Each structure stands twice: as structure tokens, then as C-alpha cells.
Structure 1
Amino acid sequence: MKKKFYLLVGLLLFLVSTSFAQHGRFHVRFLVKTIDCNTGKAVINVQVKASSADSTFLMGDANYRFDYDPRIINNPTILTQENFSSQAPASDARYGVQNLNGSTFGPTKGTVSLNTTYGGSGTGAALVGTNWITTTTIQFNIVNTQLIQNNCFPIVWHTDKPADFPNCGRTKAVFSISTSMVTSTWMRM
């Protein structure tokens, strides 16, 4: 009798946990906002969306990692924090201030590590649907205008390839109705 009871409880817990699960596929992209060789500035938007209607999610922590060529552009700085940030214009108290902690700079490769932190306040995380959402606007100094061709410069996302470690990822915020607790699970692009 106890064995059947534990099996039934285990089955119920599994069904409840999977009914609240989020699928966890997402896409990220860059959108070049401006390239101004006169002022020596290049500005990009970092955007995110769910990969399909059945993979929408509640944004938890996020780490967007990408490489750039410091012989062309360098000195990445956050200009604006459009979404998922307590700083204006987002002004969303559920999230902390975005930062570039963990970014690196070398002679031939720089890596940006853009970080979003979810406070887990239990008031609900922001929903990410299938439309592109700008998370952050980042500005670079243009070092060599001769290497910018057709208003293009190379920036490459870290993926799950071993050479790209650590890769881009984010957590999804998962709420437990019975305990009002927030947990998070790491997801990759």
C-alpha cells in the first residue's frame, strides 16, 4: 500500500511540475542602430525572443556572450537598458542593473559578457514572447574605419560549441503555486 502511495505521489509531482514547465528555446540577435565614422561610434541593440509560440518564457537571469575584433571596434559600454533592468528606461524593479562583468579584451579578440539579473521577488518575471525585444543598447568605439566594410563589422555569438565556452544562456523564472517560491533553470540558445 505504501509503495502505491509513493508511486502515486511521485506521478502527481511529475505531472504538476511538467504542466508548469517552460520549453526553453530562445533566439538572440544584434541590430545595428548606428555606425558613425565621424564620431568614431558604433551602436548595436541586443535583442531576444522565444524561438516559437510553445517556448515563450519568463525572463530570469541572462548572460549574452559575443566576440568582436578589437582591431576594428573596442571599449563596449552600455548606453541604455531597454528591458529587464531596474535602470531607466526599463525601470523594472524585478531586475537588477545590467552590467558587462566578465567581459574580456585581447589583442585579436574581445568578448562581451552582458548580464541581466532577476531579483526573484515573487511578483512575476517579464514574459518573453515570439517578437524581438531589445534588452540593451551597447556602444563601441570605432578603432579602424578602414576595416569597416559596408557598415559591417564582425560580432559573433557564443553558442554551445566547445570553442565558445562559456556560451550564451539565460534562466527562466519558474513559479511554484503551492509555495509561492521562484526557482530558475539555465537554458541555452
Structure 2
Amino acid sequence: MSATFAKAQGRYEVRLVPGSYNCAKDSVTMCVEIRATSADSAFVMGNANILLTYPTNQLSNPVYRSRGVFSGGTYSLLGMTRTPGDPTSALSINIVNNGVNGEGTTVDTNWKTVACLAFSTAGNTSKCYSISVSSSNPSTVVTMAYPDPADPQNNMSLTRQVSQGALTPINNQCPATPTVTLSGGGTIAAGGSSTLTVTSQNSVLPATVALNGGISVTLTQQEPSKTVTVTPTNTTTYTVQSVTGDCGTGTGQGTATVTIQSAGTDCSNVKCVPVTFRIIN
């Protein structure tokens, strides 16, 4: 470790990054990232306890989905301490530096992943959640590692606390719900059929779409657009009655009207010419 790092005070910021939802399995993921607030505040990560707090009725049962750059090698396997509570629970991500002479991973101005976590959202009907990095009572603590300046040959690493900068939470993060559009229709002869098309607009799938007339369509990642053949006996306007996805109720847009052509007025394939008859007695 350089003398510059040994003398540096260090300053860090932490942000929480939303990941993915799996509402069918009541699960959500998010990642914890850290960086130095400026080039001259970079430091070698020593030991740290990054404390996260969250509403117990929104999230539960945290586990590591992946561990980042402060786990393995110079560092112990990233640990976790869970503290269930009501109405708020907490977990501490525990970083332990086993290196000598200030060895370890440098926290510079590039975001580095500490860990990615998965939580259960079972019982959380909205699937929305918030989670924060604790700044006090108790506080997130991050230390820098540096060699012993009094005896650089003793293979020891010393640590001291690093100044805390911005801590960016996740506030009221909610899952996307499906949006679909309905199109198609047209004019048909009595007894004929027409095609309606239901299409996903935001790729939030699967989605079950109900149309009037008792029509149900399921869109998937493999089939994000589907057609439906209808044979109405009267002129009918089709609309989206409901859209349902794994994470809740979605939105339907558009209409499709199928018009039944009156008998004797089909001029689609021939030229219609008005004719006047005069009857002479």
C-alpha cells in the first residue's frame, strides 16, 4: 500500500440498486454497491459492517444471491448478520480483511458490487418495498486497511474508520405490471370471421388478457403477440376487460370493431352503379 493511501482519510458512498422481481415465487433482488467519493478519497477496504434496514411487512428472509469483490482471497467469505424486528428488520453485511501490510481491494471512484441479495415478499400484496443503508443508531461502519507505519516489516495491517458520504436507498420500488394493446377488426359479411390481435407493449410477461365475449388470451415471452378469430352475429366492438400478470393487475389499451355488412350492399369486388327503373303501364 502506498504512503498516499496510508495518509488518506478516505470517504465512501453506498447505493442500493433494484434488481428483478419474481412475483410468482414472491422474490425480489437488489444489489449493494460502494465507491470513493473522489479520487483523493480512495482507500483499501479493511473491515466493514454495512447495515441495511427494511419494513418487516415488505421484505423477509434475506440471502446472498452473489458475493462481490470483498469476499474471498484477501477477505473472508462475506458474512451476514440478520436482526428480525417489528416493524423494522435489519441485516449487516460483514466484510473481514485478512490481508497483511495493507493488502486488499481498493475502493476507487468506480462503483464496486459488495453483494446482491434476494428477499422474500410473501404476504406483501403490493410487492412494493423500501430499503435503506443505516447511517446511525447503529451506523454503517467502513474501515480502510494500511500497513503499520511504525513497523512496516511486521506484516500487520492496521485499520481506521472511513468518513461516510451519501447513502442512497431504494424507496417505494414497485414491480412493473403488463400493458397490452388490442387491434384488428374490420367489416365482414354475415357469417364471416375477423381477426383480433393482442400484443404486449412492455414485455412484462406472462399476462392473461380477458376480452368481452368471454375471450381469454395468454401472452408469454415466447408469444408476446397473439391473434384471435371471432365470428360475431352482430356488429361488435371488442375491448380489454382485464389484464393480469404475476405481479398484479395490468393495463389494456385499444379497441377492435367488427362490422357486419348489410345484405345486398357488398361492392367490395365489383363496381356498384346506381340504376333507376321507370315502369310504364
In structure 2, the gaps of 5 or more residues are 165-281
State the percentage of identical aligned residues: 25
1:45-93 CA distances to partner (integer Å, 9 max, x unpaired)?
Answer: 110000111100101011100111110110111121121111xxxxxx2
Looking at secondary structure, tell me which structure has more strand per residue. 2
Match of 2:50 among 64, 79, 104: 64
Change (3 A) 1:19 1:134: closer
- Structure 1's consecutive aligned runs of 4 or more residues displaced over 6 angstroms after TM superposition are none
* SS state at 1:20 partner: helix
User: Is residue 49 of structure 2 the alignment partner of residue 73 of structure 1?
Assistant: no
Which residue matches 1:179? 152
User: Is residue 33 of structure 2 the alignment partner of residue 33 of structure 1?
Assistant: no
Change (3 A) 1:118 1:19: closer
Asked if structure 2 preserves the Cα contact closer than 8 Å seen for 1:37 and 1:145, the reply is no
Q: Structure 2: which amino acid aligns with 1:46?
A: V
Q: What is the CA distance between 1:22 and its match in structure 2?
A: 1.8
Which residue matches 1:89? none
Change (3 A) 1:34 1:52: same
Which residue matches 1:11? none
Measured in 1, the distance between the counterparts of 2:20 and 2:50 equals 20
In structure 1, the gaps of 5 or more residues are 1-16, 87-92
Which residue matches 1:154? 130
Q: Which has the higher contact order (CA 8 A, sep 6+)?
A: 1
Measured in 2, the distance between the counterparts of 1:123 and 1:156 equals 30
Q: Structure 1: which amino acid aligns with 2:78?
A: Q
Measured in 1, the distance between the counterparts of 2:85 and 2:103 equals 39
Q: CA RMSD in A?
A: 1.9
Measured in 2, the distance between the counterparts of 1:125 and 1:33 equals 28
Measured in 2, the distance between the counterparts of 1:134 and 1:53 equals 18
Measured in 2, the distance between the counterparts of 1:34 and 1:80 equals 14
Measured in 2, the distance between the counterparts of 1:68 and 1:111 equals 6
Q: What is the CA distance between 1:186 and its match in structure 2?
A: 1.7
TM-score (norm 1): 0.77
